[in-house]
Amino acid sequence: MKFYINKQVTRLFSVALFASSLTACDDFLNIIPLNDVVLENYWTEEADVASVVNSCYAQLESGDCLKRMLVWGEMRSDNLTTGAGAPQDIIRIAEENLLETNGYAKWESFYQCINRCNTVIHYAPQVQAKDPNYTEAELKANIAEATAIRSLCYFYLIRTFRNVPYVTEPSIDDTQNYQVPASGFDEVLAHIIADLEAVKNDAIRTYGEYSDDNMNRITRYAIYAMLADMYLWQGDYQRCIDYCDLIIDYKKEQYDDMLQESSSFIENVELYGEFPLISEAPYGSSYAGTAFTEIFGEGNSFESIFELNFVDSETRENLLTKEFYGAYNSTNVGQLAACPYLNAQVADGSNPYFKRTDCRVYENMSGESTVSIRKYVTAGVEFRTNTTTGSAPTVTEYTRSNNVGNWIIYRLTDVMLMKAEAEVQLAGNVGDGSSLTSEQEARYRTAFSCVSAVWKRANNKRVATTDTLVFEDYGTSRLSMENLVLDERQRELMFEGKRWFDLVRLCRREGSNTRMLDKVMQKFSENTAALRIRLSTPDALYFPYHEDELKANSYLVQNPAYENENITTTE
| pLDDT, tens digit only, all 571 positions of the chain | 333 333 333 443 443 443 333 333 333 233 334 344 455 578 999 999 999 999 999 999 999 999 999 999 999 999 999 999 999 999 999 999 999 999 999 999 999 999 999 999 999 999 999 999 999 999 999 999 999 999 999 999 999 999 999 999 998 766 667 789 999 999 999 999 999 999 999 999 999 888 999 999 999 999 999 999 999 999 999 999 999 999 999 999 999 998 888 777 788 999 999 999 999 998 878 899 999 999 999 999 999 999 999 987 767 899 999 999 998 877 779 999 999 999 999 988 899 999 999 999 999 999 988 999 999 999 999 999 765 567 889 999 999 989 999 999 999 999 999 999 999 999 987 544 568 899 999 999 999 999 999 999 999 887 655 567 899 999 888 999 999 999 999 999 999 999 999 999 999 999 999 999 999 999 999 999 999 999 999 999 999 999 999 999 999 999 999 986 543 333 3
**CA 557, CA 555: separation in Å to the nearest integer?**
6
Q: What is the pLDDT of residues 116-166, one digit of tens each?
A: 999 999 999 999 999 999 999 999 999 999 999 999 999 999 999 999 999
Q: Which of 16, 6, 9, 55 is nearest to 167 (CA)?
A: 6
Counted domains in the chain: 1
Instruction: Give the pLDDT of residue 262.
Output: 79
Instruction: Give the pLDDT of residue 435.
Output: 83
Judge whether 14 and 173 are in contact, CB under 8 Å: no
Instruction: Give the pLDDT of residue 568.
Output: 39
93 Rama sector, left if φ>0, alpha if ψ -120 to 50, beta otherwise: alpha
In a domain, 564, yes or no: yes
**CA 114, CA 108: separation in Å to the nearest integer?**
10
In a domain, 115, yes or no: yes
In a domain, 488, yes or no: no
In a domain, 435, yes or no: no
In a domain, 171, yes or no: yes
- Pairs from 90-94 (Cβ < 8 Å, separation ≥ 24): 90/335, 90/336
In a domain, 194, yes or no: yes
Q: What is the CATH classification number for the domain harbouring 7?
A: 1.25.40.390
**CA 79, CA 341: separation in Å to the nearest integer?**
9
DSSP 523: G
What Cα–Cα distance (Å) separates residue 413 from each residue in 109, 247, 302, 416? 29, 11, 11, 5
Pairing of strands 380-384, 396-398: antiparallel
Q: What is the pLDDT of residues 311-338, one digit of tens each?
A: 877 678 999 999 999 988 777 799 999 9
What Cα–Cα distance (Å) separates residue 326 from each residue in 36, 341, 475? 46, 20, 40
Q: What is the pLDDT of residues 216-270, one digit of tens each?
A: 999 999 999 999 999 999 999 999 999 999 999 999 999 999 888 877 778 899 9
In a domain, 73, yes or no: yes
DSSP for 400-462, written as a single string:
-SSS---EEEEEHHHHHHHHHHHHHHHH----SSPPPPHHHHHHHHHHHHHHHHHHHHHTT-S
Q: Which of 454, 293, 444 is nearest to 363 (CA)?
A: 293
DSSP 251: H
Range of the domain at 173: 1-203+538-571
Instruction: Give the pLDDT of residue 265.
Output: 74
Phi, psi of 125 (to 5 degrees): -60, -35
Judge whether 447 and 485 are in contact, CB under 8 Å: yes
**CA 179, CA 160: separation in Å to the nearest integer?**
21
In a domain, 183, yes or no: yes
Instruction: Give the pLDDT of residue 42.
Output: 85
Q: Which of 240, 239, 238, 232 is nearest to 505 (CA)?
A: 232
